[in-house]
């Protein structure tokens, strides 16, 4: 038995519903594998802030830092719930953990599973063949435009200047680029030509930080002769991404560019409800769906839990790599195969994928598939 302590932070809105389903799937794994999980549930988010005046329970950060092997988060943010400085209440949890635990690689896979149709032009149809979209955006997660070097210049009670400073460092660039190359080594290449490829996405035709970042990319790439080097400016990349998604394997980019481009990439996977992510550092990992708390759907048991279930699978992969635990690695594969089987069969889908099943029906169906495979 290998035991892992998992901190769960369901957060706000649909975050609570989708986290419950991912935990259900993890419990199905626990029942039929040699993995054992201890869940520590942490309350927090914008709604919690409205009730208590705190973003999360006292001691939560320390639990995540000292006790948890990994963290699974639903979503934070609730309409009208703002901090005294106007900031989103609950964002302190996400940023507190990203920066505090130094989770420098924000890993966002986009994969089009067979059976999933897109809504790119309003109507649901097959725009790309399944298998043509299988890429990962690796977004730098601890600097760039998200560095907390910012402010407003108030003079005579007039807000005159707003400043956000973009910081690109050698250390921050080296480690995230290295992460991207290591990830590409574990993958089977781009769908188009099975070539392992890491695309460096930047704006180095203008920005100094990105010129340095590109030189660092070149230096790191020298250590990976089996991986094809590729460069794109962020603006051009976005249109190539939509036109030729099958060319891409791993994309490595700075914080804000990765924030924006990974939402666009998520469309290629059929739905934001399919978009999973991991915030990964050398010692800690936080896994969360890319979608937010979706207040208008909250409490209706209707949104897609698959992004959170895939995120939980990524969490097992992270634990597997970190602890050299083949069983944890295998359980990520089983989650992926179960998701694939569910989508292919097509009768238990939530509304975003054209079905009318509930969040919990999808969670139940995935748990049964996992159990069947492991029995």
Rule CB under 6 A: which residues touch ligand IPM? Answer: 91, 259
Active site residue 210: no
Active site residue 218: no
Give whichever of 134 and 259 is closer to Mn ion, judged by the CB atom.
259
Q: How far apart are CA 49 and CA 88, in angstroms?
A: 10
**Binder of residue 329, out of ligand IPM, Mn ion, none (CB less than 5 to 8 A by kind):** none
Active site residue 263: yes
Size of the site for Mn ion (CB under 5 A): 1
x/- site string to Mn ion, residues 329 to 368, per CB under 5 A? ----------------------------------------
Give whichever of 91 and 374 is closer to ligand IPM, judged by the CB atom.
91
From 146, 179, 237, 248, active-site residue: 146
DSSP 216-282: HHHHHHTT-TTSEEEEEEHHHHHHHHHH-GGG-SEEEE-HHHHHHHHHHHHHHTT-GGG-EEEEE-S
Q: 105-111 and 276-280: which strand pairing?
A: antiparallel
Active site residue 259: yes
Q: How far apart are CA 205 and CA 200, in angstroms?
A: 13
Give whichever of 137 and 199 is closer to ligand IPM, judged by the CB atom.
137
Q: In angstroms, what is the minimal distance from the CB of 137 to ligand IPM? A: 10
DSSP 85-148: TSPBTTHHHHHHHHHHTT--EEEEEEE--TTPPB-SSSS-B--S-TTS-EEEEEEE-SSBTTSS
Q: Is 12 in the site for Mn ion (CB under 5 A)?
A: no
Q: In angstroms, what is the minimal distance from the CB of 317 to ligand IPM? A: 19
Q: In angstroms, what is the minimal distance from the CB of 151 to ligand IPM? A: 18
135 DSSP β-pair partners: 110
Q: In angstroms, what is the minimal distance from the CB of 264 to Mn ion? A: 11
Q: How far apart are CA 64 and CA 20, in angstroms?
A: 19
x/- site string to Mn ion, residues 255 to 274, per CB under 5 A? ----x---------------
Residues contacting 324, CB < 8 A, separation 6+: none
From 178, 203, 229, 322, active-site residue: 203
From 36, 218, 226, 235, active-site residue: 235
Active site residue 235: yes
Q: 285-289 and 276-280: which strand pairing?
A: antiparallel
Active site residues per annotation: 146, 203, 235, 259, 263
List of residues contacting Mn ion (CB under 5 A)? 259
């Amino acid at each position: 038995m290998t035991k892992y302590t998992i901190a769960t932070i369901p957060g706000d809105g649909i975050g609570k519903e989708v986290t419950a389903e991912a935990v259900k799937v993890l419990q199905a794994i626990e029942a039929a594998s040699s993995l054992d999980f201890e869940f520590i549930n942490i309350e927090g988010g914008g709604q919690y802030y409205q009730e208590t005046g705190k973003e999360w329970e006292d001691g939560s950060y320390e639990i995540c830092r000292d006790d948890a092997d990994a963290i699974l988060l639903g979503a934070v943010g609730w309409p009208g719930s703002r901090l005294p400085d106007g900031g989103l209440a609950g964002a302190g949890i996400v940023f507190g953990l990203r920066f505090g635990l130094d989770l420098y690689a924000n890993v966002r896979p986009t994969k089009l599973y067979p059976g999933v149709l897109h809504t790119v032009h309003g109507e649901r149809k097959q725009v790309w063949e399944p298998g043509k979209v299988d890429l990962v955006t690796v977004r730098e997660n601890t600097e760039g435009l998200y560095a907390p070097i910012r402010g407003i210049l108030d003079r005579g009670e007039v807000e005159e200047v707003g400043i956000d400073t973009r910081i690109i460092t050698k250390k921050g660039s080296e480690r995230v680029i290295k992460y991207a190359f290591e990830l590409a080594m574990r993958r089977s290449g781009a769908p188009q030509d099975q070539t392992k490829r890491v695309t460096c996405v930047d704006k180095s035709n203008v920005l100094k930080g990105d010129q340095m970042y590109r030189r660092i990319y070149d230096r790191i790439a020298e250590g990976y002769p089996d991986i094809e080097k590729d460069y794109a400016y962020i603006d051009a990349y976005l249109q190539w991404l939509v036109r030729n998604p099958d060319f891409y394997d791993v994309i490595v980019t700075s914080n804000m560019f990765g924030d924006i481009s990974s939402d666009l990439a998520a469309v290629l996977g059929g739905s934001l409800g399919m978009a999973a992510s991991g915030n990964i550092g050398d010692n800690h990992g936080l896994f969360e769906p890319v979608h937010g708390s979706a207040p208008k759907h909250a409490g209706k048991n209707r949104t897609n839990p698959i992004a959170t279930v895939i995120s939980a699978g990524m969490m097992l992969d992270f634990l597997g790599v970190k602890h050299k635990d083949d069983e944890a690695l295998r359980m990520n594969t089983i989650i992926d195969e179960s998701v694939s089987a569910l989508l292919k069969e097509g009768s238990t889908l939530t509304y975003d994928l054209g079905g009318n099943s509930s969040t919990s029906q999808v969670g139940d169906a995935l748990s049964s598939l996992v159990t069947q495979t492991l029995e």
